[in-house]
Structure 1
Amino acid sequence: MHDADPTSQSNYLQIATNHITFDWTVDFDNKVIIGTATHDLVAKADEVSEAIFDTSYLHIEGVKVGGNAVQDFTLGPKHEVMGSALRVPLPRTASAGSSISVEITYRTTANGTALQFLEKEQTQGKSFPFLFSQCQPTHARDLAPVQDTPSVKVTYSASVRSVLPVLLSARRVSPPSDGPAHDGKVIGKDEVVYMYDQPTPIPSYLLAIAAGNLQYQPFQVPEGKLWKSGVWSEPELMADSFWEFSRDTTSFLAAAEDIAGPYQFGVYDLLVLPPSFPYGGMENPCLTFVTPTLLAGDRSLTDVVIHELTHSWFGNGITHAHASHFWLNEGWTTYIERVLLQIIHSPAHRGLSSIIGYKALLDALALFEDKPKYQKLVVDFDYGENPDSAYSRVPYDKGANFLLHIERTLGGLEVFLPYVKDYIATYMGHSITTEIWKNHLYAYFQKNGGEVKIKALNSINWDAWLHQSGLDLPVKMEYDLTLANPANALADRWYESRHTMDISKLDFKASDLDNLDANQRAVFLERLESYNESLPAPHLFHLDKLYSFSKTLSAEIRFRFYNLVLKSQAAKHFVQEAANWVIGVDATGVIKGRMKFCRPVFRAMSKVDHDLAISTFRQAQTQFHPIAQSLIAQDLGLNLAER
């Protein structure tokens, strides 16, 4: 069906897991998970003599095949990216269609990247430790022995013993979510067994666990909907979390169903994680993980939830076959997210999101000028190459613009959205490549439009979009500027004032921002950053005095402000302040673990004062997630093994 996954050592094309049963104990004292993973496998070919699983930094204690212990399993040498292949010989060769069970007893270790155990001091409540996982793209093998490729989709069930409440990317079986926390037992002391079931097949990167002092509050679900929704957080954040997300989450999900069809996972909960979580959100089924930086206090950042719930169809439903086709997840999700913004709000909101995304795309493309293959939509990864190294806005925004270009080429949303529904209906539950997607697109419009639509599709430069590098999009895209124009006009006024040396003669006021929402303020700052000549330092000091960007609690605004000033004559004035902010030794008191914020700020700091950037990172290194630690170190030219 497709080429083999270059990041997996498993033999999933010969024999593949259908279902996994996990039996786990969370050991907070030793910061490990102990237990078993029992795989129900089905042979895909004849004469299969072994099952090969991906593992990384796991201690394998024993293996049973068909209920019988086997001694001659082997754990291969450690590959830096792919880990160690666990080879389990089968007692007899399997033929296509036959089933077999493999039970693996193991424990995780401190070296793995999938799990982050936080000390109680790193949590909001500072009373209990916390655990959360991040398995995308290839870190599930650090949590459990699995065939760690998105080409394999599995159902799973789990039994988890823990002294703290446990959440998984599955439906809670017991104790009930809306019952007393920790089944009424003493949190942090009494062990409770949590039972979960995930009946919808998912790829291994969507395996997820979180455990801590967590409480639940349900959202009101629109009448007639069969799914449930709510929010989980530490008690100290519950009031803010519920207020931030309760109004919009279920209406967003209902709007997505109108475009994409029924939501298939039964539960859509949000979990607000501690600040070291490295992403804005992670679309774990039934349980989207979100960063606390979304708690802006004004619901201005809840559109991230639109993105994450849209993954329920694009990524969790239709999945990329492997990392080379990651854009099928993120490009589609970002495109539909913006369509939903148009439907929920207005075409101008879709345009504003596109403008912000385009700026982020240009920054990402420039960052990869020396690694041009990461500028492509379809990345030809070498065998064993780390897909984390390519992580950027490219698959999101180049992908979304590609789909927007196709939409416009074919005649707009009223032509394109019926195709979207057919695409979802055809491939829901499957893992596909770019070629499979393209072939279906052509087949649909051959049937629903004939030669006129085929001629339109043939006019697209497919090679340029999918397989060529470059510092810009292959086509100049036009966006709705209605909401961007006021922000751009204010930025232009500031830029035109740069030759006025007497600051007292400037006619700017704090009220300039009154009619600009958070996204428009972001566009204002990005416009200022885009000019060939930066504002003089006195202008930037005056701008900050009026608008208080260096004091705002909005991380989206603060990091853009630092991006602006750290490229200016005022850089040395602001660099220490930026350093304090990114590691939370300022009035916020919170580390900025989200890589969208910390990586650009560290890179900008490094160009101003490289030694300060390194010492700041070293000071707080262990508070960042292992994935973020690795990528920040890469940005700063550091070897984490050297201190």
Structure 2
Amino acid sequence: MTVDVDPTTQANYTSIASEHVHFDWTIDWAKQVISGSVTHTLTVREDGVDELVLDALALDVHKAFVETRGQGQSDNFTLGPSHPVMGAALHVPLPSGLKVGNTVKSTIHYSTTKDCMALQWLDKEQTQGKTFPYLFSQCQPIYARSLAPLQDTPSVKIVHLLRERSSTIPVLLSAIRASPPSDGPAHDGKVIGKDVVTYTYNQAMCYRVPRSRQSGAGVAEPEFVDAAYWEFGDAINNFMLKAETVLPPYRFGVYDVLVLPPSFPYGGMENACLTFLTPTLLVGDRSLVDVVVHELSHSWFGNGVTQAHSTHFWLNEGWTTWMERLILQLLHGPAERGFNYLIGYKSLKDDLELYKDRPKARTRMTRTAKSHWMGLQNRLWAGWMFLPYSITTAEWKSHYKIKALDSIDWDGWLYGEGTELPVKMQYDVTLAEQSASAPTRSVCRFPSMTGLLANARPICIVVFLERLHSYPALPATHVTLLGSLYKFSTTTNAEIRLRFYESSAAKTLAPEAAKWVTGEDGTGVVKGRMKDVSKVDRDLARLIEKDLGLA
């Protein structure tokens, strides 16, 4: 039987695999370096394995040693040539005679470098409060290897412990804090920026029901913290309760959200125990809190059941998006779920068109197409039994043993081409029809219909504006008035604001859009989210090229 090995790692995880990883770190804020050690507790999977191979990218490795059966082994390692994408392979010799099931410990002392792709160091001027520096990590898809020598593949699931020594700034990790107490004063009551505190965290991926589960509101810079608690507090608890009515119990002990500084480039990131969020979700009316539903769903699909490697990435995003929309149905009704599928399908077709011209562009195809497939299969069968494993598409498919699924065109869904799905999906179109007809009515009676969108959900307004873009261009004066009537030009909802700035009056609105992105619109909040910045910057660049006669 051929093993489906992760093509993005050089680690020999099929021969020997990490079970527990202990990080012992010191953060040097002045040099912007993390130094210390990582200790792997490994289980032998293949008789006679004679070396441990780890992924290492842009790391300074100082020494490495192996301990087995209580015996220490001298420092000995080799760092191979650096691959332009995967980095270098760190080879650590192992004692001879190892058998399947044996346990081995290996400790590597190292430090990160300025080329670490997993870490984003922010000077205090780059934060909202401009008082202290800030550091956050982004290890997906294969950047964890630049943070520590690891078997950097989702095929290996680990329990980890982190001890961060000598920190003068609070440390928050996607794990459960062991010390100082998480319910105690910030920074253990010491002076932030001056006094040293040692932080210890445990991430026990305990695939059993914990004694208690906490879902928190929001953690953020002081300038955002009150807004984060107000925006997400009740919503997160409600999301968790709804999710557990259709899913196995949440198994990571705690669930919190961290609102990062404005330079965080994503809408959200599903780190276990601690979802990262963009501050553009702090709207003030809770109209964007549903974004958390997607990240929460990753607790089961992605963090619970995991793709074996990125060739099977659709397993993470397809199942998560399907579950996200099921939870939205529980929260808001079937029309909301159907509406999100229709919006997703439009995004899928748009991305396929984009992909033709820009094959390396970041798109939502994997997430969207396979979520429709999940919707189809759920109507036929709604079970999964893979917790807590990393699985491949073949393993997932082989689990389906019931006759009702024999009619599925597996090849069409897995390998099909074109912009049409193999099956014509039927969804509740109530909200879609209302939103689609609104532009026609507004254009016919504009500008007298001031109440047209007064009580519409934000998602409907987004579709309204996207639909309006498909009509012949309105005069800039009309678009400006539209923005004033419906407050599109002043709304704190970034999704609405972005669609408004993409209108036919983009050239007229470009200076206003630029102020919005840079925080010079009176809010003082820079829009660092990749989607907002790239769209506005791209439109501005086109306008500048045209003005300079370059386009």
* C-alpha deviation, 1:595, in angstroms: 2.1
578 and 2 in structure 1: CA distance in 2 versus 1, 3 angstrom threshold: farther
* C-alpha deviation, 1:390, in angstroms: 6.4
Query: Does residue 17 in structure 1 map to residue 38 in structure 2?
Result: no
* C-alpha deviation, 1:124, in angstroms: 2.0
* C-alpha deviation, 1:582, in angstroms: 2.9
* C-alpha deviation, 1:394, in angstroms: 1.2
d(CA) in 1 for partners of 2:476, 2:282: 32
d(CA) in 1 for partners of 2:466, 2:473: 12
| Corresponding residue number in structure 2 for 1:189 | 194
607 and 464 in structure 1: CA distance in 2 versus 1, 3 angstrom threshold: farther
d(CA) in 1 for partners of 2:3, 2:358: 26
d(CA) in 1 for partners of 2:20, 2:279: 33
Structure 2 letter corresponding to 1:252: F
Q: Which runs of no fewer than 5 residues in structure 2 stay unpaired?
A: none
Cα deviation per residue 1:145-168 (whole Å; 9 max; x = unaligned)? 110000000001111121111111
SS at match of 1:369: helix
| Corresponding residue number in structure 2 for 1:631 | none
Using structure 2 for the length normalisation, give the TM-score: 0.93
| Corresponding residue number in structure 2 for 1:369 | 356
Structure 2 letter corresponding to 1:321: A
Using structure 1 for the length normalisation, give the TM-score: 0.80
Which of 437, 440, 445 is the matching residue for 2:396?
437
d(CA) in 2 for partners of 1:277, 1:462: 38
1:105-504 maps to which residues of 2 (within 5 A)? Answer: 105-161=109-165, 162-200=167-205, 226-230=212-216, 231-370=218-357, 391-408=362-379, 410=380, 416-417=381-382, 419=383, 423=384, 426-440=385-399, 442-443=400-401, 446=402, 451=403, 453=404, 457-495=405-443
Cα deviation per residue 1:75-101 (whole Å; 9 max; x = unaligned)? 222222111111111232533222211
d(CA) in 1 for partners of 2:541, 2:318: 31
Q: Which runs of no fewer than 5 residues in structure 1 stay unpaired?
A: 203-223, 373-388, 411-415, 498-505, 614-643
* C-alpha deviation, 1:557, in angstroms: 0.8
SS at match of 1:542: helix
Equivalent residues of 2:128, 2:525 under 8 A apart: no
* C-alpha deviation, 1:359, in angstroms: 2.6
SS at match of 1:540: helix
How many residues were matched structurally? Answer: 541
d(CA) in 2 for partners of 1:181, 1:232: 11
Structure 2 letter corresponding to 1:512: L
Query: Does residue 581 in structure 1 map to residue 516 in structure 2?
Result: yes
SS at match of 1:193: strand
1:16-95 maps to which residues of 2 (within 5 A)? Answer: 16-66=17-67, 68=72, 70-95=74-99
Cα deviation per residue 1:443-489 (whole Å; 9 max; x = unaligned)? 2xx2xxxx4x1xxx233222222112323433333332222333222
474 and 607 in structure 1: CA distance in 2 versus 1, 3 angstrom threshold: farther
SS at match of 2:512: helix
**Deviating more after overlay: 349-358 vs 29-38:** 349-358
d(CA) in 2 for partners of 1:478, 1:369: 27
d(CA) in 1 for partners of 2:420, 2:74: 55
| Corresponding residue number in structure 2 for 1:529 | 469
Query: Does residue 598 in structure 1 map to residue 546 in structure 2?
Result: no
Equivalent residues of 1:509, 1:546 under 8 A apart: no
d(CA) in 2 for partners of 1:190, 1:33: 19
| Corresponding residue number in structure 1 for 2:490 | 551
Please identify which structure carries the higher helix content.
1
Equivalent residues of 1:171, 1:198 under 8 A apart: yes
d(CA) in 1 for partners of 2:347, 2:211: 36
Equivalent residues of 1:53, 1:146 under 8 A apart: yes
Structural RMSD (CA):
2.3
69 and 121 in structure 1: CA distance in 2 versus 1, 3 angstrom threshold: farther
d(CA) in 2 for partners of 1:70, 1:534: 73
Structure 2 letter corresponding to 1:314: F
d(CA) in 2 for partners of 1:430, 1:85: 25
* C-alpha deviation, 1:367, in angstroms: 1.6
* C-alpha deviation, 1:536, in angstroms: 4.0
Equivalent residues of 1:168, 1:196 under 8 A apart: yes
**Deviating more after overlay: 151-160 vs 345-354:** 345-354
Equivalent residues of 1:57, 1:108 under 8 A apart: yes
320 and 612 in structure 1: CA distance in 2 versus 1, 3 angstrom threshold: farther
* C-alpha deviation, 1:252, in angstroms: 1.0
Structure 2 letter corresponding to 1:173: A
SS at match of 1:587: coil
**Deviating more after overlay: 66-75 vs 522-531:** 66-75
d(CA) in 2 for partners of 1:320, 1:610: 43
Equivalent residues of 1:62, 1:69 under 8 A apart: no
d(CA) in 1 for partners of 2:523, 2:419: 36
d(CA) in 2 for partners of 1:586, 1:75: 50
Equivalent residues of 1:310, 1:333 under 8 A apart: yes
**Deviating more after overlay: 427-436 vs 84-93:** 84-93
| Corresponding residue number in structure 2 for 1:572 | 507
d(CA) in 1 for partners of 2:45, 2:177: 32
d(CA) in 2 for partners of 1:3, 1:98: 24
d(CA) in 2 for partners of 1:312, 1:76: 35
d(CA) in 2 for partners of 1:293, 1:368: 27
609 and 459 in structure 1: CA distance in 2 versus 1, 3 angstrom threshold: farther
* C-alpha deviation, 1:610, in angstroms: 4.4
94 and 591 in structure 1: CA distance in 2 versus 1, 3 angstrom threshold: farther
d(CA) in 1 for partners of 2:477, 2:450: 16
Equivalent residues of 1:365, 1:472 under 8 A apart: no
* C-alpha deviation, 1:490, in angstroms: 1.6
SS at match of 1:94: coil
d(CA) in 1 for partners of 2:154, 2:317: 14
d(CA) in 1 for partners of 2:243, 2:311: 27
SS at match of 1:158: strand
* C-alpha deviation, 1:391, in angstroms: 4.1
* C-alpha deviation, 1:120, in angstroms: 1.0
d(CA) in 2 for partners of 1:496, 1:36: 68
d(CA) in 1 for partners of 2:498, 2:260: 20
SS at match of 1:539: helix
SS at match of 1:248: helix
Equivalent residues of 1:63, 1:105 under 8 A apart: yes
d(CA) in 2 for partners of 1:590, 1:473: 40
